[in-house]
Structure 1
Amino acid sequence: MNEKPSTAKIALKWGAVAGITTIIYQTILFVTGMNRNQSLGYVTIVFTIGGLYLAIAEYKRENGGYLSIGEGVGLGVLTATIMGMLSTTYSIIYMTYIDPNVMKEGLEIARQQLEDQGNMTDDQIDQAMEMSQKFTSPGILFLGGLIWSALSGAILSLIISAIVRREPVDPFSR
């Protein structure tokens, strides 16, 4: 009977690669001041998709060319969560200790956007900003980052697994 490849080992490898790639990219954005450009932030989705695909492809290769959707999704969630832990931890450390102005600037931009919309009173804007500040604590940011990573990993790995899956004709052959 063939032994299954280690999901944890593959997820740790590709989650770390994608996470470190994201950290390098985030550093470039922070240092250049481009972190305020929301569209550049979407590039990290490419790193996530790449890490998930490489993890799923390696698992399939080590599993004799076979991959079920469930195996791919499980591996993808674990890989994305590892990536999210690394990149979220880095972001929190950066915004808390290295450059705390990043968070302040983000809140100022959010306030300005609410004011520009013109459909809220000053009191409502103040309340919204108070609530936003409560969600910028390191613990809440970390938890939100992990949840977001796991959910996006589940969705993306479901899509990737559906594309690259290959089930054995005889399910008892593995």
Structure 2
Amino acid sequence: MNEQTVSPGSVGVRYGIITGFVSIIYSLILYMTGLHLNKGLSYLGTVIPIVGIIMAYLYYKKENGGFMSYGQGLGTGTILAAVSGVLSGTFTYIYLKFIDGNILEQIRNASIEEMENKGMSDEQIEQAASMTEKFTTPEMMLIMGVVGAVLLGFILSLLIAAVMKRNRPEFE
């Protein structure tokens, strides 16, 4: 039985939607509780795409006789990351643009406070703050969110697919 029952694209889209919605719920919880500035919790959000990719690979292998090549894994994970990134990036854009724009101000203020704690001069802080201002708009958060999600997903997929791949034997 050499027939594939699912493709990297179909599994990537399916699990990308699931992963995207889990990421949205996680972000919403952080925004609503005011914990979005907690770096540890923000980094903890990276667990979501890792779990999403692993679940997608397990499903892919289950549906394909236990086999998944490295390329199939890489493709599945990258598609998953792109779909998830577009969904969560769009949510972030809508949330910051139309629901709670104060979050952007909180991010900027936290950034300035962090620079002050590092002992940066007023001139350095002013320069860095103007740069931060340019990157903390809903539009930039959308673009950087999608690009960041795809890059992170690609890197995670490179690693996870290397571990989870199981090539079909040449001769059956």
TM-score normalised to structure 1 length: 0.90
- Computed over aligned residues only, the root mean square deviation of the Cα atoms, in angstroms, reads 1.7
Moved more, 138-147 or 47-56: 138-147
Deviation at 1:138, TM superposition (A): 3.0
Deviation at 1:108, TM superposition (A): 0.7
Distance (whole Å) between structure 2 residues aligned to residue 93 and residue 42 of structure 1: 22
Distance (whole Å) between structure 1 residues aligned to residue 31 and residue 120 of structure 2: 32
In the comparison of the two structures, how many residue pairs are matched?
Answer: 171
Query: Counterpart of 1:167?
Result: 167
1:102-121 aligned within 5 A: 102-120=103-121
The code of the aligned residue for 2:23 comes to T
Distance (whole Å) between structure 2 residues aligned to residue 78 and residue 117 of structure 1: 39
Q: Spell out, residue by residue over 1:3-35, the C-alpha distance to the aligned partner (whole angstroms, 9 max, x if none).
A: 462222211111111111111111111111111
Do residues 101 (structure 1) and 102 (structure 2) align?
A: yes
1:24-173 aligned within 5 A: 24-120=25-121, 122-170=122-170
Tell me the SS of whatever aligns to 1:83.
helix
Distance (whole Å) between structure 1 residues aligned to residue 23 and residue 168 of structure 2: 35
Q: Percent identity?
A: 36
Tell me the SS of whatever aligns to 1:35.
coil
TM-score normalised to structure 2 length: 0.91
Deviation at 1:65, TM superposition (A): 1.5
The code of the aligned residue for 2:67 comes to Y
Return 5+ residue gaps in structure 2 as ranges: none
In 1, are the aligned partners of 2:17 and 2:83 still within 8 Å (CA)? yes
Distance (whole Å) between structure 2 residues aligned to residue 38 and residue 115 of structure 1: 17
Return 5+ residue gaps in structure 1 as ranges: none
Query: Counterpart of 1:9?
Result: 10
Distance (whole Å) between structure 1 residues aligned to residue 79 and residue 132 of structure 2: 29
Distance (whole Å) between structure 2 residues aligned to residue 143 and residue 96 of structure 1: 14
The code of the aligned residue for 2:70 comes to I
